[in-house]
Structure 1
Amino acid sequence: MKVKRYVVDSMPSALQKIRVELGDQAVILNTKEIRKSGFLGIFGKRQIEVIAAVPAEQASQPKAVPEKPSLVPEKKSPVLSRVEPQPEVLKEIQGMKELLIGIASGSGGQEKVPKPLGKWMQRLKEQEVDQKVIDYLVEQTLRSFPSIEQAEPDAIRDNLLTQIEKIMKEGILLEPKIEKSVNMVSFVGPTGVGKTTTIAKMAAHQMLHHDRRVGMITTDTYRIAAVEQLKTYANILNVPIETVFSPDGLNKAMKNMQNCDLIFMDTTGRNYQDEQYVQQIGKYLAEQVVQENYLVLSLTSKYSDMKTIVDHFATFPIDKLILTKLDETLSYGAVLNLAFHYPYPLAYVTTGQNVPEDISKIESEKIARMMLGVADNHGSS
């Protein structure tokens, strides 16, 4: 019997490592959360310890090029230690072996989801939750109950809510803010996602609640209406605004606003599947100031389109994501998918056109309940 211990940031990462190092016949003996020591023993990072095993005669050679389960950069493998498995533990997991292997390999697990989980997995599919995320939730839920077939339906529901909230909390900024050291905040994203209105909301919030002198820059000269819209907001807020026609003109605009504490920059919203256009936008993000860059995505978009946009910005300094139009959709799976697959923190969500009211931090519990279609703490659906 070959046994290995893994310390990882997520179960998808562990499953991939186990497949590569131990092969498709491996089984998982135990999982538990641990906390990596931090500064002075506090602020430790939460990780998962996974014990996996495979019969010595079935241990496979490592595969040369493993398929990554997500876009999150892989961490260095921790030191492995050997643990002697208990016979009763091996006997207990034997019945679940095929299901776990199916989930780990990404094939077959979907068809073998136990009946008590069936309606919830169907609900997540309808919410456009990515299949890898669903597989992960199935695996985690099965590990939470000695027998899923005998578990109470409410207990299964609550466990799923907890698992979904946990994923989102790891990707959501609990208290998003713009640090005092930041001089410029830029916004990129496709046409129609609500960048300009989002800028107005955040600018007004900085003025009203943080007493900062704000200025605005627009580079969206491609659409006259977008320029006029931002100018209207600037006039209402009584803040200066500059129109920039090329990256070379950005320095001049910044000098004209040197008395401002914080500058908000709107960029052209066009086809982000055009690599040349994305490269052009990237030139505006390279300004030599303390700058924070937000990628704005609409929750009314398909997740596959959102994924394409995020992937195209992978080489640029995107700091945070803003999700708009929560009030215009009944599908919330993209929030979970983005938190699971990408390293960019989810900062804000918008829920309407009112300035500055309709923008807030993302509430993971509320999104999780809406995603599963269960009543919130106040009794609404």
Structure 2
Amino acid sequence: MRVKRYVVNALPEAVSLIRSELGNDAVILNTKEIKIGGFMGMFRKKKMEVIAAIESKHANTPAKQPKAASKPDSDFGQMIQNAQRASTAVLNPSPPKPSAAHNVDREQHILDEIRNLKEYMTKLSNQRTDLAGMSDEIWQLKEHLIEQEMAPQWVDRLIQSISEKQSEERTNYSKDQVWEHAASQLKEWLKPYGNSGISGEARIVHFVGPTGVGKTTTIAKLAAEQTIKHGKKVGFITSDTYRIAAVDQLRTYANILNVPLEVVFSPMDLPKAFNQLAERELLYMDTAGRNFRSELHVSEVNSLLQSSEPKETILVLSVTGKTKDMAAVAEHFSKYGVKKVLFTKLDETSVYGAIFNLIMDFDLYPTYMASGQTVPDDIERFRAESYIQHLLGSKSL
């Protein structure tokens, strides 16, 4: 692409020069008023700076009849083509059309295309500036967070926060200092979501989530904690009748813990199950794992969660899942008021950014983090410090 700068008295003068030097396919990228000349800052003259460009294959070629546009290689290519057509219309105005409204729409379209191109180029310029001013230590942190699959908007905010502190202190942070500031900022952001846990007032706790995330094992871990450590009378309810193995697994845990189990096949079976477990202080309900990216399946499960007694619903997600899929599940359940989440299988991955994304993007309150299959040991209350160590590395705190 050939880019040329013109300093003229007025825009029409630039249009004439652009047409004669670059041709009718040239694109006007930017225009602004500048002051030049003078003596010691005085008596400066106002001029117009115009930046124009043309693709190399069109440079200094005579105007041709318009042809069908070829498919651009990228969004930027499409933007260039659109801007070329827009600028060609400016440089070679066509005869007025019969419809005034059509002319207004056409002119607005031209302006929109040029503005979009300018915004895109400004964004690229800002990105280059940001990279140029970023220290190696901060750049290493950014790369690490990207590898951890933290969402770009949160990576950028964190990097900006650290860069601003470094500028204020007029110093260059070491790697340890960069990591320490990152841990401190992350802890501050997570502070409103700490110490949420499972409500002690809830008698019925529902566990929902996709298949394979470890709901049944998680229920057994929590039940063991309540019965062994706190001496509570716990009861199990399962509606996961889609998988016979799931019922058998929960029944095995129920027998080991000496906890009664009720199986329900529909919402109509729930009153009977509650009646059978009336003497139990705490009821844990396992639900079927489904494709919860479908809101229909979420709605079906939600119909099983209705009760007049104090209750709470916990969304169970495995950190080994795809971030996009987990976000879709969280979005659907959040529509039904599910605000608490429990993360499993932390021992099966080294990527933890999705946890932060889900908490911040969907305003979810983390309750527990589970790893491994050992009942009841492989589960702990969510602590921001522990999580940040997973995210940034054990030396971050």
**TM-score (norm: length of structure 1):** 0.67
> Relative to 1, partners in 2 of residues 1:278 and 1:177: Cα closer, same or farther, differing over 3 Å?
closer
Candidates 256, 259, 263, aligned match of 1:236: 256
> Relative to 1, partners in 2 of residues 1:109 and 1:222: Cα closer, same or farther, differing over 3 Å?
farther
1:162 alignment partner in structure 2: 184
Instruction: Write the distance in 2 (CA, Å) between the matches of 1:106 and 1:306.
Output: 30
Q: Give deviations 1:56-110, integer Å, cap 9, x for gaps.
A: xxxxxxxxxxxxxxxxxxxxxxxxxxxxxxxxxxxxxxxxxxxxxx9xx998765
Matched, 1:219 2:239: yes
Candidates 168, 173, 181, aligned match of 2:195: 173
Instruction: Write the distance in 1 (CA, Å) between the matches of 2:366 and 2:376.
Output: 19
Matched letter for residue 156 of structure 1: V
Q: Shift in Å at residue 195 of structure 1?
A: 0.1
1:201 alignment partner in structure 2: 221
Instruction: Write the distance in 2 (CA, Å) between the matches of 1:298 and 1:373.
Output: 20
SS of match in other structure, 1:292:
strand
Matched, 1:138 2:174: no
- The structure with more radius of gyration: 2
> Relative to 1, partners in 2 of residues 1:132 and 1:109: Cα closer, same or farther, differing over 3 Å?
farther
2:375 alignment partner in structure 1: 355
SS of match in other structure, 2:293:
coil
Structural mapping, 1:1-381, within 5 Å: 111=128, 112-113=130-131, 114-116=133-135, 117-146=138-167, 150-153=171-174, 154-173=176-195, 176-179=197-200, 181-373=201-393, 375=395
Structure 1 contact 348–361 (Cα < 8 Å) conserved: yes
Instruction: Write the distance in 2 (CA, Å) between the matches of 1:265 and 1:161.
Output: 36
Instruction: Write the distance in 2 (CA, Å) between the matches of 1:106 and 1:280.
Output: 45
Instruction: Write the distance in 2 (CA, Å) between the matches of 1:373 and 1:286.
Output: 41
Structure 2 contact 351–391 (Cα < 8 Å) conserved: yes
SS of match in other structure, 2:206:
strand
SS of match in other structure, 1:115:
coil
Instruction: Write the distance in 2 (CA, Å) between the matches of 1:319 and 1:148.
Output: 39
Structure 1 contact 128–332 (Cα < 8 Å) conserved: yes
1:81 alignment partner in structure 2: none
The gaps in structure 2 that reach 5 residues or longer are: 1-118
Q: Shift in Å at residue 313 of structure 1?
A: 0.9
Structure 1 contact 294–322 (Cα < 8 Å) conserved: yes
Matched letter for residue 155 of structure 1: Q
Q: Shift in Å at residue 172 of structure 1?
A: 3.1
Bigger relative CO (Cα 8 Å, ≥ 6 apart): 1
Q: Shift in Å at residue 323 of structure 1?
A: 0.2
Q: Shift in Å at residue 142 of structure 1?
A: 2.4
Q: Shift in Å at residue 136 of structure 1?
A: 1.3
Structure 1 contact 324–350 (Cα < 8 Å) conserved: yes
> Relative to 1, partners in 2 of residues 1:304 and 1:204: Cα closer, same or farther, differing over 3 Å?
same
Instruction: Write the distance in 2 (CA, Å) between the matches of 1:241 and 1:371.
Output: 38
SS of match in other structure, 1:215:
strand
Instruction: Write the distance in 2 (CA, Å) between the matches of 1:227 and 1:136.
Output: 46
Number of aligned residue pairs: 272
**Aligned-residue CA RMSD (Å):** 2.2
Instruction: Write the distance in 1 (CA, Å) between the matches of 2:268 and 2:322.
Output: 35
Structure 1 contact 171–340 (Cα < 8 Å) conserved: no
Matched letter for residue 282 of structure 1: N
Q: Shift in Å at residue 209 of structure 1?
A: 2.0
Q: Which moved more, 1:198-207 or 1:337-346?
A: 337-346
The gaps in structure 1 that reach 5 residues or longer are: 1-101
> Relative to 1, partners in 2 of residues 1:358 and 1:305: Cα closer, same or farther, differing over 3 Å?
same
Q: Percent identity?
A: 38
> Relative to 1, partners in 2 of residues 1:183 and 1:363: Cα closer, same or farther, differing over 3 Å?
closer
> Relative to 1, partners in 2 of residues 1:238 and 1:107: Cα closer, same or farther, differing over 3 Å?
farther
Structure 1 contact 320–347 (Cα < 8 Å) conserved: yes
Instruction: Write the distance in 2 (CA, Å) between the matches of 1:109 and 1:184.
Output: 52
**TM-score (norm: length of structure 2):** 0.65
Higher helix proportion (structure 1 or 2): 2
